[in-house]
Amino acid sequence: MIKRYDICFSTKTGNCSKKAGEYLRGLIQSSRGNMSAMAEVIPDTDNQSLQHFINNSPFDEEKLKRQINEDVNNKLGGEEAGLLIDDSSTPKAGKSSAGVARQYCGKLGKVDNCQSGVFAILSKDNKYSMIDGQLYLPKEWIEDEERCKKAGIPDDIKFKTKIEIAEEMIYTAKTRLKFGWVGFDGGYGKSREFLYRLGDKGLIFMADIPCKMGVYTENPDILEKEYTRDGKKVKKLVCSTKPTKVSEVIVNNTNDISLVKIREGTKGTIRANAISKRVWLWDEKAINAREMHLIYREDHDDPSDKKYSLSNAPIDTPLTTLLKMQAQRYWVERPFQEAKNTVGMDGYQCRLWTAWHRHMLLVMLAMLFMMEQKIEYGDSSNMLSCRDIIQVLSKALPAKDKTVDDVISMISERHSKRKKAMKNHSNTSPQGP
């Protein structure tokens, strides 16, 4: 596979495609992004050379991303495809790794020390592939020039919220891939300004939203009123009516809820109790509210599993189509699960900004390969998984022959690194009185 990307790893000063191939095979054969683990299974390589490749080898990351985008688009692109946006966090000890900070970590379900990135995934039916990823930098990092310098963060990197990062990804993807709509969870969907901006760009979205988010059941009048504040006249837009929580909108329309078939799943037909209502959303800045679909879905077998979404799809869009778009969000979790469990997405040993992004690009390349295999052999096995593919490859690809002495040496090296990491963590941890 790496041969078709050879040009992406070639520069005037050299070609590192061989080392890129070793790194890619390491992700697949070791199932970990840990370079020590890669070096234990890939012939004719070692930890140091892999570290040098991911940190220092000169290759065009943007060219590689463009080529991945082109190949994914050729396989999945089209009006039925959705561009799914989500963030993913990886627990990390210490303070040196780029972007590491105490922030919410989805993997742990709490605030803890971690790195967080925003990712874009192209999905159609049950096929999907990552097409972009960017590390999120908290403000505390941007405000510390010395810390940024040590982590190799470029001088021109400014603070951006996750929504701002996502927005840039979406606009870039729109120039490279074909998709019919954009989907994201409530962390992004709760931003009215974000939804307005996507609509202004002509993008259709399916946004999960919190149940307490306010909407209007009729098109409200937006008025401009003048106030006197601190002796100065101030103009402010106000709404003639109060918004209603989306959960209350659904409660008031329970008689209209119907049982709908969403799709066929591995365990049979997936059905849901669902409804779509016409509502209006106001961002408190525009002179007009905007008409949207409020989609409510309740799992037929588990009524506690509820989801609320807003979409600016054409007003005549059938409920079944809206539900299919909403359900496609399910596939944003699968690539993360597979990438972490099978190709080492979160097992990396990268402290530098560039190394993190290069690692994620190679993970995307590995996941693209997996997706291509699923498409190629889908007719014979529609249940083919990434783990299945890796098991086959483990028998087909060469691996290091290890003696007992080799294994003992590897174990000794791992123990030495763990002790060093524990010592460093102890030195950087806050000390008591």
In the predicted structure, residue 67 carries a pLDDT above the cut 90: yes
Instruction: List pLDDT tens digits, range 170-217.
Output: 999 999 999 999 999 999 999 999 999 999 999 999 999 999 999 999
Whether 433 shows a pLDDT value over 50: the answer reads no
| Residue 433 covered by a domain | no
Residue 244 lies in a domain: yes
Q: Is residue 221 part of a domain?
A: yes
Region 65-75: mean pLDDT is 96
Residue 274 placed within a domain: yes
Per-residue model confidence as pLDDT tens digits over 292-341 = 999 999 988 888 889 999 999 999 999 999 999 998 887 788 889 888 98
Q: State the pLDDT at residue 402.
A: 54
> Model confidence over 250-299: pLDDT tens digits?
999 999 999 998 776 666 778 889 999 999 999 999 999 999 999 999 98
Domain range for residue 226? Answer: 197-319
Question: Number of structural domains, the chain?
Answer: 1
Residue 305 lies in a domain: yes
Does residue 119 fall inside a structural domain?
A: no
In a domain, 340, yes or no: no
How high does pLDDT run on average in the chain?
88
DSSP string, 12-71: TTEE-HHHHHHHHHHHHHHSS--HHHHHHHSTT--HHHHHHHHHH----HHHHHHHHHHH
Q: Pairing mode, if any, of strands 101-105 and 110-124?
A: antiparallel
Mean pLDDT to the nearest integer, 396-407: 62
Q: Say if pTM beats, i.e. exceeds, 0.85.
A: yes
288 within domain boundaries: yes
- Burial of 433: CB neighbours in 10 Å, binned 0-12, 13-18, 19+: exposed
Q: Three-state SS for 108? A: coil
Tokens of 274: 């669902």
